[in-house]
Amino acid sequence: MRASLAVILFSVSAAALAADAGEIKVVRGAAHIERGSERLPVKVGMPVQEADRVVTGIDGTVGITFADNSLLSIGPSSNFAIDHYVFDSTTHAGKFDSTLSKGTLAVVSGKMVKQSPDAMHVRTPSAVMGVRGTDFVVRVADH
């Protein structure tokens, strides 16, 4: 009995975690998403979730629209992780943390940042960027 309750609680929290953060809108060339131990080819219409990692090949690019209308695109030979994404569509409160460890990223910030200017951060190996309602690009190069 105790075990089955634990299973129920676990599956509820797993479902809550799996709430979609956004959706793939653009894919060109080779790209995949690492989700847990899975490696999923990126397709238009595919949902993205917190803890997903997007990896693009030498010819790959990916564009994502998030629940709060933030737009992100990932250039070729890149590695980008959605560390944390929550958004309340009633209050527009939320949190969006991501990391670009390699490659290029373009960002158009959305509704969340309009509501709370400290809600969105992009990390690179050496920096943390706080986003206050703007378009910007980031590059992490090996040289």
Partner 1 sequence: MAVVVVAVMVALAIFTATPVETVTVLPSADGHVGTVVVQRGEAQQVLHEAYATSRSGQTEVTRLSADEVQSTYGRALHALPALPATFLLYFVTGTDELTEESKLELNKVLTAMRARPLPDVLVIGHTDTVGDPAANDRLSAQRAETVKGFLAGIGIPVERIRTAGRGERELLVPTASNVDEPRNRRVEINVR
Interaction of residue 135 with partner 1, rule CB under 8 A: yes
Q: Of the ranges 2-10, 11-19, 32-40, 119-127, which one interacts with partner 1 (CB under 8 A)?
A: 119-127
Q: Rounded to the nearest whole angstrom, what is the least distance from the CB of residue 35 to partner 1 in the complex? A: 20
Contact positions with partner 1 (CB under 8 A) in 31-50: 44-45
**Residue selected from 74, 81, 82, 112 as contacting partner 1 according to rule CB under 8 A:** 74
Total of chain residues touching partner 1, rule CB under 8 A: 49
Which of 33, 62, 82, 112 touches partner 1 by CB under 8 A?
62
Q: Are 95 and 117 in contact (CB under 8 A)?
A: no
Which residues share a beta bridge with 120? 96
- Distances, alpha carbon 62 to alpha carbons 5, 43, 76, in Å: 40, 9, 9
Interface with partner 1, residue 18, by CB under 8 A: no
User: Does residue 104 interact with partner 1 by CB under 8 A?
Assistant: yes
CA–CA distances in Å: residue 37 to residues 18, 42, 52, 133: 15, 15, 11, 34
Q: 101 and 81 in contact (C-beta within 8 Å)? A: yes
Query: What is the DSSP code (8-state) at residue 77?
Result: S
Residue 141, interface with partner 1 (CB under 8 A)?
Answer: yes
Q: Which stretch binds partner 1 (CB under 8 A): 1-9, 10-18, 34-42, 126-134?
A: 126-134
- Given a contact cutoff of 8 angstroms between Cβ atoms, the answer to whether 124 and 98 are in contact is no
